A and B are shown apart, each in its own frame.
Chain A
Amino acid sequence: MEVCNCIEPQWPADELLMKYQYISDFFIAIAYFSIPLELIYFVKKSAVFPYRWVLVQFGAFIVLCGATHLINLWTFTTHSRTVALVMTTAKVLTAVVSCATALMLVHIIPDLLSVKTRELFLKNKAAELDREMGLIRTQEETGRHVRMLTHEIRSTLDRHTILKTTLVELGRTLALEECALWMPTRTGLELQLSYTLRHQHPVEYTVPIQLPVINQVFGTSRAVKISPNSPVARLRPVSGKYMLGEVVAVRVPLLHLSNFQINDWPELSTKRYALMVLMLPSDSARQWHVHELELVEVVADQVAVALSHAAILEESMRARNLLMEQNVALDLARREAETAIRARNDFLAVMNHEMRTPMHAIIALSSLLQETELTPEQRLMVETILKSSNLLATLMNDVLDLSRLEDGSLQLELGTFNLHTLFREVLNLIKPIAVVKKLPITLNLAPDLPEFVVGDEKRLMQIILNIVGNAVKFSKQGSISVTALVTKSDTRDADFFVVPTGSHFYLRVKVKDSGAGINPQDIPKLFTKFAQTQSLATRSSGGSGLGLAISKRFVNLMEGNIWIESDGLGKGCTAIFDVKLGISERSNESKQSGIPKVPAIPRHSSFTGLKVLVMDENGVSRMVTKGLLVHLGCEVTTVSSNEECLRVVSHEHKVVFMDVCLPGVENYQIALRIHEKFTKQRHQRPLLVALTGNTDKSTKEKCMSFGLDGVLLKPVSLDNMRDVLSDLLERRVLYEGM
């Protein structure tokens, strides 16, 4: 018997079922084989898959399962033992692997699951980061907007532009519906709607500043959300919108210049705020984000700074304009003052001449009148006229001198003169009065006092006369002593240190009297104009009180100092002054001749081209004079009458010789008329010399009073004429040609 080693299936073979099983097994096998292949393929592809060996295991498991199923294919029909064996082996292997795999999966699946969780977590994180990225980008955008806004705001210093720009830019950046700025009014009690974004012409709309909402906003530097229904937010009629957008308000500090202390940040000291109100678009359901609020706060601060800059600029512009105006005004004032001074000087010059001319005429004519035959009463009257007019002339001179002195336009006329003689002359002048008052005057001249000095003789005499005159005037008894010495240093006044330099020295004159004395308190007032100590005793003395003031000014001009010392009332006083004089080179040893004669060295030895005018009615003497002058080289023009002389005389003529032999004053008047003609150009006036036949004192005085510069005795010799012309041109004055 053949024993069939085939294994008989358990149940009877159903053909269709079998077929289906067969096909399924076949496909399973294919699938089971391809899955690992796929797995391997894809694992090979991916580099990061960490559980490779798991896959291998899995692969093996699947392969074996597949193998099992494949081998199963052969078991549907009778099959040999080998197949059964292989089947069994496969199954066993499969069982082993699958169990191993199952065991493995227990470990692995939680891991795998956690991977998944982590993956989820990371994805969430990534999403979150994305969101934050978006936020940051938004913020950066915002920051850029702020920078741009600030730049816009700060690029202008015009207040209006700043505010307008702020609103516009904010509106744009934040896409606002409305933006408004409320400024405090001048009184500070109300806020006035000053600028809005959309409305071009805001109605003059004010709200009181003490509203709670406003106080709330002003109380903090942050942007505050306020209700859309608050008075500051109700800018336009509510036109049936459902929901008004959210409104935020922020305070804008209005800084003043004085608020900028270094350590004191404006927050502490500022008092005035403006209110900026920002409204989101209605019906947009947008909310104010934090970063937007921050933007608003930053902008508000920037606006404050920009406004303060604008304010500073305005201030400085205003100050500059003010200064310019003041400058212009000052300039104008200065020019007016100069004009006034010039006008005054012109006036003084004219008045000087205008006043002096009639004065001279009065004095001259009065003195002429004196010489005619008069009854005693007439003589008395004429003498009074003469005295009064002399007084008046002196007064006028004083006043005019003083005003010129104050001007600083007075200049010293320096010349060489004999100092000793000057003192003696002064004494001679004062002696008559002193004798009458029984006041002996003594003169002490220091032995080292130079004899010939350079200075303004006339003015020095005026000073000494004034001081000595005062001494005599204010002394009722006692004596007067005049001392003159050379001083080397002044111990009285520490500021005033006199140092004799080479050719200069300081002359000190002390006039001591034993008169009424002066109260020490009054001493400073002495040198002021028109002041006189009003004691009854001195009331009787005349004088205008200008003397000391003028003397002081002359002394100052001579670079000196003058002061008065007194021990008190009734104890007399001493007037002391120092003046600077030059030492003359002319030898001080020539004391033989009592009165030094001017050495006869003609400095102008030829007068070539010197233009002179000769006026003489007498033809012969005219010709002789002309001949003389022509011989000396002058260019001579002759005229024979006063009128012709006046017509012809011009600034080209340096000297005019006029014959005044005829009695009467017509000829003298020509001198006055010439003075008049040259009032404006005083320095161009020719020198006037009178040629006369008689030489007495009255003629000389007459000539002086009529303004002639010199007198010559006719007939003139050639040498005489030569000397005279020389001297005349040197010194511009000649009263010695007698």
Chain B
Amino acid sequence: MDTLIAQLQRQFRDYTISLYHQGFLDDQFTELKKLQDECSPDFVAEVVTLFFEDCEKLISNMARALDQTGNVDFKLVGSSVHQLKGSSSSVGAKRVKGLCITLKECCDSQNYEGCVRCLQQVDIEYKTLKAKLQDLFNLEQQIVQAGGRIPQVDI
């Protein structure tokens, strides 16, 4: 059994480090992890879930706004992307945040094609992150079920 836990823990550590190195997550995510304690054991999961819901909502809003060809409400897109940027920086979704900045610029310059393209990328990116984080959480669950402790990963 020990081996299994150790294995799982090693897997966990490696995966986490890779996420950071690939730029999916940044320091803010570490900070979030710090806030998880006995009082709020699922803090990170809750925040992340909320973030993804937000993402979905905002992206669909923006998509809808951009669909109104000829009468695109760039202000709405702008404010949505602003929100998304804020959310992504709060959770430490680095790539998403970067894309949001690009999207904002496109929006400010009312670059329709740019916006559409960026939005697509944002969509892909957030879904990827969601999948990866899901894997991470599964790993955590496995470790806990095996009776082990979730290791502290220092980046």
Contacts and interface: CB of A to CB of B under 8 A. Distances in A.
Interface of A: 617-621, 623-625, 627-628, 630-631, 659, 661-662, 693, 714-715, 717-718
A662 B31 contact: no
B79 interface: yes
21 contacts: A618-B54, A619-B50, A619-B54, A620-B47, A620-B86, A620-B91, A623-B46, A624-B32, A624-B47, A624-B90, A625-B90, A627-B32, A627-B43, A630-B35, A659-B86, A662-B79, A662-B82, A693-B89, A714-B86, A715-B28, A715-B31
Interface of B: 27-28, 31-32, 34-35, 37, 39-40, 43, 46-47, 50-51, 54, 79, 82-83, 85-87, 89-92
Please name the 6 residue pairs, one residue from A and one from B, whose CB atoms are nearest each other, closest first: A620-B87, A621-B90, A624-B90, A627-B35, A618-B86, A631-B35
A229 to B, nearest CB: 123
A717 B31 contact: yes
A621 B47 CA distance: 9
Q: Which of A623, A628, A630 has the most CB of B within 10 A?
A: A623
Contact of B40 (A630, A662, A718): A630
Nearest to B79: A662
Contacts of B27: 717
A621 B86 contact: yes
Nearest to A631: B35
B40 A618 contact: no
A618 B83 contact: yes
Contact of A631 (B37, B47, B86): B37
A623 B44 CA distance: 10
A12 to B, nearest CB: 192
B34 A621 contact: no
A717 B27 CA distance: 9
Q: Which of A617, A627, A717 has the most CB of B within 10 A?
A: A627
A623 B86 contact: no
The dominant DSSP class at the A interface is helix
A624 B37 CA distance: 14
Contacts of A627: 32, 35, 40, 43, 47
B46 A620 contact: no
A123 to B, nearest CB: 137
Given A617-B83, A662-B79, A630 B31 contact: no
Given A618-B86, A624-B35, 12 more contacts: A617-B83, A619-B50, A619-B54, A620-B86, A623-B50, A624-B90, A627-B43, A628-B31, A628-B35, A630-B35, A631-B37, A693-B86
A724 to B, nearest CB: 14
Nearest to A627: B35
Contacts, number: 67
A620 B83 CA distance: 9
A631 B90 contact: no
Contacts of B43: 627
Nearest to B78: A663
Contacts of A628: 31, 35
A717 B29 CA distance: 10
Nearest to A620: B87
Contacts of A659: 86
Contact of A661 (B32, B40, B50, B82): B82
Contacts of A631: 34-35, 37, 39-40
A547 B82 CA distance: 47
A620 B91 CA distance: 8
A618 B90 contact: yes
Given A619-B50, A619-B54, A620-B91, A661 B86 contact: yes
Contacts of B37: 631
A620 B28 CA distance: 13
A427 to B, nearest CB: 41
Q: Which of B31, B34, B37 has the most CB of A within 10 A?
A: B31
A715 B35 CA distance: 14
B51 A620 contact: yes
Contacts of B82: 661-662
A662 B85 CA distance: 11
A718 B86 contact: no
A223 to B, nearest CB: 114
B82 to A, nearest CB: 7
Nearest to A718: B34
B87 A619 contact: yes
Contacts of A618: 54, 83, 86-87, 90
A628 B28 CA distance: 12
A598 to B, nearest CB: 22
A625 B90 CA distance: 8
Nearest to A716: B31
Contacts of A623: 46-47, 50, 90
B81 to A, nearest CB: 12
A659 B50 CA distance: 18
Contacts of A693: 85-86, 89
Contacts of B86: 618, 620-621, 659, 661, 693, 714
A337 B79 CA distance: 57
B34 A714 contact: no
Nearest to A659: B86
Contacts of A621: 86-87, 89-90
A627 B31 CA distance: 10
A718 B90 contact: no
A720 B90 CA distance: 15
Contacts of B83: 617-618
A383 B32 CA distance: 45
A41 B14 CA distance: 176
A630 B79 CA distance: 29
A618 B81 CA distance: 11
Nearest to A717: B31
B54 A624 contact: no
B31 A714 contact: no
Contacts of A661: 82, 86
A715 B90 contact: yes
A693 B92 CA distance: 14
B46 to A, nearest CB: 7
A621 B54 CA distance: 11
A487 to B, nearest CB: 52
Contacts of B47: 620, 623-624, 627
B79 to A, nearest CB: 7
A388 B110 CA distance: 38
A718 B31 contact: yes
Contacts of B89: 621, 693, 714-715
B35 to A, nearest CB: 4
A523 B39 CA distance: 70
A502 to B, nearest CB: 46
B50 to A, nearest CB: 5
Nearest to B46: A623
B88 to A, nearest CB: 8
A620 B32 CA distance: 12
Nearest to A721: B31
Contact of B90 (A630, A662, A714): A714
A561 B28 CA distance: 55
Contacts of A625: 90
A394 to B, nearest CB: 37
